[in-house]
């Protein structure tokens, strides 16, 4: 592999790790980079998923304090993510790539719209809770079910393509949960990491020879550093600033998805 390609892949890994910790669409940097450098799309997808596990670990660790107190909900979301990721990885190995990539832009637009209107949905939920005499922090069985179903569906998508699954998770949680943005971001980092681990394990077992281990290693090193940087600076952002970052990066990612 040429040295310039190694540098570009490693730098893409740093950027992806940082953006994944903040937003969750780092694949929109590394995937196009690998494709541009000549890697087949499926090889790029699998190599990228394997490499970004390291960045997911550092990003999740950086947000570990914000995960406290979320166990009662995550005990339902985690199995949904794991099961969805397994289904998504199976789909990648058995279905034509175009099946999902054609709908990715539509899903991303919907997710970005939900990120923007999320605060209004939360305000509506609080007002409704007050009218019924319940705590605004109460998570009804209906909303919990909707959240688990959404988490599973996003896990399927993440296991297949991974790009922008973090934005989709933030959108779903923002619409259904009375949670702070930073705490939702911490949960998003953990769930995205689990999806990537399942997908990477499946690709390694079933398609070991189709993974570019050199590219995956470079992305891993870069994303490990980027994950620490993203978590460090992301935790300092206000909810509105973090939401703005998500929307801007999402729009850039949408443009790249449509032009790659």
For the stretch 38-84, pLDDT in tens is 888 778 888 988 999 998 898 888 888 888 888 888 989 999 999 99
Burial class of residue 120, CB neighbours in 10 A (0-12, 13-18, 19+): exposed
Can you tell me the distance from the alpha carbon of 16 to that of 196, in angstroms, rounded to the nearest whole number? 13
| pLDDT for res 125 | 57
What is the average pLDDT across 198-222? 90
Q: Per-residue pLDDT for 249 more than 70?
A: no
Q: Which residue segment(s) compose the domain that 30 sits in?
A: 3-259
- What residues contact residue 94 under an 8 Å CB cut-off, 6+ apart? none
User: What confidence score (pLDDT) does residue 135 get?
Assistant: 46
pLDDT tens-digit map of 79-133:
999 999 999 888 877 877 676 667 667 766 776 776 676 666 656 655 655 565 5
- 86 CA to centre of own chain: 15
| Number of domains observed in the structure of the chain | 1
Share the mean pLDDT of the chain. 81
């Amino acid at each position: 592999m040429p040295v310039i390609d190694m540098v570009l892949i490693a730098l893409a890994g740093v950027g992806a790790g940082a953006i994944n910790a903040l937003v969750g669409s780092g694949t929109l940097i590394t995937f196009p980079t690998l494709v541009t450098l000549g890697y087949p799309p499926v090889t790029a997808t699998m190599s990228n998923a394997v490499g970004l596990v390291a960045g997911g670990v550092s990003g999740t660790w950086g947000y570990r304090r914000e995960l406290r107190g979320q166990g009662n909900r995550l005990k339902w979301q985690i199995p949904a993510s794991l099961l969805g990721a397994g289904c998504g990885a199976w789909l990648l190995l058995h279905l034509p790539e175009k099946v999902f990539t054609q709908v990715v832009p539509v899903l991303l637009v919907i997710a970005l719209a939900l990120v923007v209107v999320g605060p209004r949905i939360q305000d509506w939920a609080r007002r409704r809770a007050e009218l019924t005499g319940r705590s605004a922090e109460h998570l009804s069985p209906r909303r919990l079910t909707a959240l688990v179903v959404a988490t599973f569906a996003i896990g399927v998508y993440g296991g297949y393509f991974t790009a922008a699954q973090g934005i989709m998770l933030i959108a779903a949680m923002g619409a259904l949960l009375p949670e702070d943005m930073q705490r939702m971001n911490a949960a998003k980092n953990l769930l995205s990491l689990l999806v990537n681990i399942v997908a990477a394990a499946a690709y390694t077992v079933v398609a070991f020879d189709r993974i570019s281990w050199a590219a995956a290693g470079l992305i891993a090193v870069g994303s490990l550093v980027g994950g620490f940087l993203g978590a460090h600076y992301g935790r300092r952002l206000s909810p509105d600033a973090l939401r703005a970052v998500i929307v801007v990066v999402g729009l850039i990612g949408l443009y790249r998805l449509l032009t790659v």
